Amino acid sequence: MEFRKSKITFLLLIIAACISIYFWIAVKSGDPLGFDQYISNFVTGIFTDFSYPFFKLMDWLGSKLGVGIISLVCIFWLWVKKGNYLAMIVLAFAVVFGNELNRWLKNIAGRPRPDLEHMVTVKSLSFPSGHAMMGMILYLMIAYFIMIDLESKAVKWLTGVLLVLWILLMGISRVVMQVHYPSDVTAGFAMGFIWVFIWITIYEMLSTKKKYRHF
Per-residue pLDDT of 115-170, as tens digits, reads: 877 778 788 888 999 999 999 999 999 999 988 877 788 888 888 889 889 999 99
The yes-or-no answer on residue 180 being catalytic is yes
Helix 85-109 to helix 64-77 angle (10° resolution) is 160
Q: Whole-model pTM? A: 0.90
pLDDT higher than threshold 70 for residue 207: yes
More confident residue, 81 or 197: 197
Alpha helices in the chain (DSSP H): 7-29, 34-46, 52-61, 64-77, 85-109, 130-147, 153-176, 182-209
214 is catalytic: no
Which residues contact residue 150 at a Cβ distance below 8 angstroms, ignoring those fewer than 6 apart?
Answer: 156, 159
Instruction: Please state the domain extents for the chain.
Output: 3-209
Q: What percent of the chain has pLDDT over 70?
A: 96
pLDDT given at position 140: 93
Residue 179, φ and ψ in degrees, nearest 5? -110, -5
* pLDDT value of position 146: 87
- CB-based contact 194:149 (threshold 8 Å): no
Model confidence over 45-78: pLDDT tens digits? 888 888 888 988 888 888 888 999 999 999 999 9
State the catalytic residue, choosing from 4, 106, 111, 180: 180
Q: In whole angstroms, give the CA distance from residue 101 to residue 142.
A: 20
Query: Residue 196's closest CA among 65, 55, 93?
Result: 93
Instruction: Quickly count: other Cβ atoms within 10 Å of residue 3's Cβ.
Output: 19
Residue of 106, 111, 131, 174 marked catalytic = 131
